Every structure is written in C-alpha cells, then in structure tokens.
Chains A and B, each alone.
Chain A
C-alpha cells in the first residue's frame, strides 16, 4: 500500500504536516538542513493570533478574518484565510495541550496581547519567544512519533531536486551536508515547507538558512510561484553587520511608542498620523512612515536612519515577564538597557508573503503529488501579513497539507514511488551537477556575489519601488547570472563543503530575485507592502489579481489569476480612522442569513 510522504523542511509547518500525515497512517521522512529544533520558526517572538475570546471583548474568528483580509489589502485568498482564522482557536488549544508554556492570566487561562492592524487582544504568547516555544512543542511531538517509528528524520541533508516521473512527483534527491553524499529517495507525495527567502536580500531578520533556494529549485522545475513581489519589511529591527535583529511588534502591543525629535521635541509620528491605530498600524504602514521620517524628512535620530522604540514608561517587572527575551537580545547585541533608554530601530526585510503556488484547498502545487505549506507558500496573507498571523499560517497550512497528501496517496491506483532505474539515473544526474560546481575555476567569490545581490535588492526592491530602478535591477541581475558562471569553488573538500553548497543555492536565489523584481516592475499600483510613488493608489480594476511566475531559461514569465473574493467585498484600506471594527459581526450575520436562505 502506498503510504510514503517526504517533508522538506522541519520548521513549524513541516513538522505540523509531518505529525498529521503520520496520524493519517503515512510513513514520513523529514529532510532538514539543520536539526529541526533549530529551524527559523524559533525566531518568531510576539505571538500567535486566535480569537479564543477569553477577554470578554467580543472577539470572533470572523473579525480576525476581516482584519486579516483588510490588513492584506484584499490580495489574500479569502476562503483560505477564513478557514485559517476559523481554526485558530483550535490550534491554540492543541498547542496548549502539547505543553507550550503560554503566558497565563491569574486564573490560569491563556493570556492575550494586542498586535498591529487589529483592535482586540487576540495574540496568545509565551513570553517574547513564542515561535521558539511552539516550535519546541511540535519538535517534541515529532520526537514522540519518531520513537513510535512513524517518522524518520534526515537532518543535515539538503534538498536538491524533486524527481518527476510520469508527470507526478515521485521522490526527491538530497545531499548529505556532512559527507556530501548525493542520494535519491522515492515517495508517493512530497511536501515542501522550507520557509521564506529573506537571505536573498543579504541582511534581513531571517536566519541564515532562509535563502529560498528550495523554493527556487522547484520553481526551476516548473512549479508556479505566486505574488513574488510581496515582501514584508518589518518596521522595527536592529541593523547589524551579520543580520538585522527583530524587535517584536509585541513591544508596541504592550505599549511601546515610536518617536523621533522634531523641532527639539519628541514627535510620536505614528500616533499623530494614524490616531485610530497609533503605534499598532500594520507593518507596511509603519515602515513607510519611518522611511519617510528618516529618508525624506531627514529626521532620524542623530541624523542617521533610525528612530526610537520606547518602552521606558512601562513597569520593568511587567516588561521582563512579557518581553524578557527580546529585551535580552537588545541588551546583548546593542549594549543598552531598553528598560531605561529607548531602543534605536529601523525597518528590515522580514517575511515572504508570496511563494510557491498551491491550490489552497489541498495545498497541492501544479505538479501532482507535490505540496507546499508554510512561509514558502503564498495563500494566506495577500499584500501584507498581519503580525502574529505567521505562526498561525505555518501551523494551519501544515495541518492542511499533511492530511491532504495522505488523501491524495490513498486515492492513487498504484504507488508513485520512483523506480530504482529512475532513482539511479537521478543520482547520477545530480552527482554530475555537483562535480560541475566543484570544477568551477573562475575568479568570482560566491559569498561576495551574494552580498552584492543582497545590497542591490535591498536598495531597489523593498519599501519604495520605482520602475526605472527596477528595470536597472533586472539588468544587473542578468549580469550577476553571467558572473555566476565565473565563480571559483575555493573548497574541494569531500567533507562538510559549505562553499559548494552555497554556490548551488545562489543559482536558485538569483532566479527568485529576478522573479521578485519582474513582478514588482509589472505591478503598476500600490498595495500593501508593494509601494510605487508613481502609482500611489491601489488599482483594483487592473491589479486585484495574483501574479503567477513561471520559470524559463530567459527569465520569468508572468501571468495572472483571480483572487478568491467570495466573502468580503474590497473596500479602501485606511488606518487613520477605524473602518474595520464590527465588520466581522456584520459579515458573520450576513453569512448566517445567506445560509438560512440556502436552506429554504
């Protein structure tokens, strides 16, 4: 009986998919470039949204759904987002049962905090390292399943290609990062859950493994990639040489204020510009405001690109209890105590809203048997993700993809697993590819080339996007592709060869950089995180559609498809006044009434 699922990526989405596929009777093999417990999900800080309604403030999943769609500037697929929000309370309960040490109320219930773009306290949290805590809980459950021999892990193995046989996904090829061995693994279905691609931008809040190359590999193998141009720039990070370190939105959720000096006095510009939401406007809005203050108005602190994120008016004990983990990060890496002096922050590349295209009912891509979930997939967030929806979408999409892959396999007439001939041929093909990488004897250093690409992308394809610069960026990316051919593989070791691995990754990162830029160039409007001064308004008549990128040798080919708008009619998105509160209730009542009509 066919029952073999391979999951690539061991973060929250991958492990959730693994757990649920194993529960559905599948044998699961997980491939990860790091021991799964070290996955990037651990970096999520502030919390996870779910309208569990324990605060008595009238919160509902319908309001959560409305805020998510409104916050995403109407580009998210509505049914997908609705299902996610409806399921969020169950997800919180599940992770509570797994033993996540969620911060509690005096009565012992889950506590909830405020987050951006939503007026109600809807965000459950475990101190300020919620992602780490959720990640550890699912890691523990997968270890339990491993103990029961339902799951097998291949840690320190890098995914390097899917095997397609008879137009279906029949397995993968992976490389052992210790021994450099290349091996093909057969499967009935494969789930990609490899996270975001911030590292394409060089410095971001992402971990070093979030280079997007796995998504780039399947894209080059013919998988459609959606909404690539939507990259979230988080308003509050500490700029650094090796990375930009995130200062969670929960700092503002707990009362933190953003300000700079104007005419010698503190200027709380978000509170002034957006009185209805103040410091808790969504990230794209806050980021553009900070950009404008620092770059256009030159009002950054000490004339540099930085503003204050201020917690000093809040009780230090409360800060330690609710935000301790991020305060430690600031103290450790900057040296100042944020309980006493305001933190200096600036926006940074943070989250990938776009991603591998999948049918959001099943999470299957356009290649049968190949599924995608988590940040590497695109369905849930549209043009801008709300804070604390990322942990939720990772878990929720994983919990859809796992059983969906199992259902797909149960419906197969015969196993998809690649035959031994095909496996041997695939191994040979990738061994030859690897030999070519080792044989590269040019003059370019792959890490330097990556660095240059990061700077180029950060300068031109982040907060403010201008068509002439995007065109120039595409030209330079083409030059980079030529320079890539002239790389020198300075390391020939048959053991732990990180240089050779990086050379392979860089190729696929370049393809995605091109796709992000091409998508941004084509989209002549402003929506969510995508802002063009030349086209400052959202243009639903022409651009309320999903960008689909398809790989070709000569660069990305763009096409478009409709967004699922089956629940909420698009309206203008504003945050200076409150236009979203109560809309969830209206929506729920309307849908209930429509349901009654259907029954009649």
Chain B
C-alpha cells in the first residue's frame, strides 16, 4: 500500500517543549496536507504504531480563501489545503508558524496580525449603514488594483517569513502596507490617508521593514507587496516632511 510519511513538530502548549512525531497514512490521489491530518484524527496512531492524540491544527475553507491553515511545510510557510502531497518531498515536515503564539501543535493565534489592521484604520470611515445613496464612482483600473490587494486573507505567511517580524520586535507586519495603499486609493477612504500614514511613521512602522522581500516571494495570493511597501515608505517620508513644515 502506498503511504504518505509525515514528520510533525508538536507541543502540548505554548511553553511546553516541542518534539517531533512521525506518522504514516494511506495515500489517496489528489490528497493534500489537511486530508492527511484528517486521517490522523480518525486513527490517532503514530508511525511506530503507538496511540497518540490527534494533531491540533486550524483549517476552514480548504480552498485557500480563508487564510486559516497556514503552517510551515517542508520548511516553507504556506496554506496546508493547497499543499498537494504529489508535489511534496517525503517525509513531509509540518511545523507551526512560530512567529505567532503557538497554542498547541500546529494551532496558532494570529490576533496580532488583525490588531495591526486596526492600528492603520484599514476601513472606509462611513457615517453608518443608513441609506445615503450610491458609493463614489471610480475607474476600473483603481478597482482592479484594490481587488488584487483586497484578496489578502491575513494568513500570516508574510509575517512568518519576514526577518524583521517576530513577537520580540515591534514591526507591525508586511501585510498592512497594501491595505494602506488600497484604502488611500478609495475616493472616500482617502479622507483618512494622513492618519494611516502617521500610524506607520514611528517605532514599529514601515521603516522597520528591511527590504528582504521574503513576503513578496511567499505571499500565496501574490498581493502587490513590493510596490505597496515602496509606495508607503515614500508617502510616509513625504508626509513626515510635510508635517515638519505645518506644525
């Protein structure tokens, strides 16, 4: 019987020591990493034949649109649902994205990444949900760029691969730069443009980015990170200079 061999980095809780556990599950065509973890749930026995606990992990949509199942697979941070077994070298190693708080095994807490969106006011500041007529018209070109950015799932992969992002550093994370660009491009979102740039001016802001470009090559949704980061850096600089003269 053809099998899939997996080596999974596990830990019982945030501060517990981590250890590797190996598994061997029956192969099925078109199988992905999540399908393997589901097999382990149904038969929690390791490769040595010893009973163990099912591996804790996050998943939801299984079609790479929700951002839940990020983990480090064969050394690369990515979504587990789209990691097809046929394309992976075995034994397949699975590790949690440890730049974030590890709850257990592959299960992590990415709250910091969501909080960052709040800091840069990643929203259009509407007056409310009451009837106020149609939204502003804008061009297809602007819409298409905003759409490309708006597919960011806050999956955390860009943070995991960033040498400047960790729980010990202040950097807010690469993912906010495209959001700032997108909301500043929206005709009404632009009303809060300066506030968004200001939020990225100081400690933990956009200049903590060391331009490694790891985020650019790792983003599963090919969000325009390179252009966004460059643009935000330049705008934050100009905004800073401008404020020197107006204060």
**CB-based nearest B residue for A106:** B140
CA distance A209 to B58 in the complex (A): 10
B209 an interface residue at 8 Å Cβ cutoff? no
B138 an interface residue at 8 Å Cβ cutoff? yes
A132-156 interface code vs B (CB 8 A; 1 in, 0 out): 1100100011011011000000011
CB distance from A327 to the nearest CB of B (A): 12
Which stretch from A37-45, A412-420, A469-477, A556-564 is at the chain B interface? Answer: A37-45
CA distance A103 to B30 in the complex (A): 33
- Return chain A residues, CB-CB under 8 Å to B114: 35, 37, 143
Count of B interface residues, CB-CB < 8 Å: 72
**CB-based nearest A residue for B132:** A97
B20-58 interface code vs A (CB 8 A; 1 in, 0 out): 000000001011101100100111100000010110101
- Return chain B residues, CB-CB under 8 Å to A93: 131-135
Name A23's contact: one of B107, B128, B147 (CB within 8 Å): B128
Interface residues on A, range: 35 or more
B2 an interface residue at 8 Å Cβ cutoff? no
- Return chain B residues, CB-CB under 8 Å to A90: 131
B199 an interface residue at 8 Å Cβ cutoff? no
B218 an interface residue at 8 Å Cβ cutoff? no
**CB-based nearest A residue for B122:** A140
The answer on a CB contact under 8 Å between A38 and B63 is no
The answer on a CB contact under 8 Å between B103 and A495 is yes
The answer on a CB contact under 8 Å between B63 and A493 is no
B97-120 interface code vs A (CB 8 A; 1 in, 0 out): 000000111010111001001100
A55 an interface residue at 8 Å Cβ cutoff? no
CA distance A322 to B91 in the complex (A): 39
The answer on a CB contact under 8 Å between A241 and B28 is yes
A126 an interface residue at 8 Å Cβ cutoff? yes
B60 an interface residue at 8 Å Cβ cutoff? yes
Which stretch from A261-269, A443-451, A457-465, A575-583 is at the chain B interface? Answer: A443-451
CB-CB contacts below 8 Å: A490-516 with B: 490-491, 493, 495-499
B126 an interface residue at 8 Å Cβ cutoff? yes
The answer on a CB contact under 8 Å between A99 and B183 is yes
A101-145 interface code vs B (CB 8 A; 1 in, 0 out): 111111111000000000000000011010011001000110110
B186 an interface residue at 8 Å Cβ cutoff? yes
The answer on a CB contact under 8 Å between B53 and A490 is yes
Task: Work out how many contacts link A and B, with CB atoms closer than 8 A.
Answer: 194
A207 an interface residue at 8 Å Cβ cutoff? yes
Name B126's contact: one of A97, A105, A106 (CB within 8 Å): A97
CA distance A132 to B117 in the complex (A): 17
CB distance from B118 to the nearest CB of A (A): 5
**CB-based nearest B residue for A19:** B129
B92 an interface residue at 8 Å Cβ cutoff? no
The answer on a CB contact under 8 Å between A447 and B42 is yes
**CB-based nearest A residue for B16:** A495
CA distance A255 to B30 in the complex (A): 28
**CB-based nearest B residue for A395:** B129
Name B124's contact: one of A97, A104, A321, A491 (CB within 8 Å): A97
A545 an interface residue at 8 Å Cβ cutoff? no
The answer on a CB contact under 8 Å between B140 and A34 is no
**CB-based nearest A residue for B139:** A108
**CB-based nearest A residue for B152:** A136
CA distance A40 to B68 in the complex (A): 11
**CB-based nearest A residue for B146:** A101
- Return chain B residues, CB-CB under 8 Å to A136: 150
B81 an interface residue at 8 Å Cβ cutoff? yes
CA distance A208 to B117 in the complex (A): 26
CB distance from A403 to the nearest CB of B (A): 10
- Return chain A residues, CB-CB under 8 Å to B41: 447, 499
**CB-based nearest B residue for A87:** B131
A selection of 11 A-B contacts at a CB cut-off of 8 Å is A96-B135, A132-B150, A208-B60, A241-B31, A445-B42, A445-B43, A447-B38, A490-B54, A491-B54, A496-B103, A496-B107
Shortest beta-carbon contacts, A-B, top 7? A96-B135, A140-B123, A496-B104, A108-B137, A101-B147, A99-B124, A101-B146
Q: Name A's B-contacting residues (CB within 8 A).
A: 16, 19-20, 23, 34-35, 37-40, 42-43, 90, 93-94, 96-99, 101-109, 126-127, 129, 132-133, 136, 140-141, 143-144, 146-147, 155-156, 178, 207-209, 240-243, 245-246, 321, 325, 329, 332-334, 399, 445, 447-448, 451, 490-491, 493, 495-499
Known: A37-B114, A99-B124. 17 other contacts (CB 8 A): A23-B129, A35-B154, A42-B61, A98-B135, A101-B146, A109-B137, A127-B147, A132-B150, A140-B123, A143-B117, A144-B125, A208-B60, A208-B62, A241-B35, A493-B12, A493-B104, A498-B56
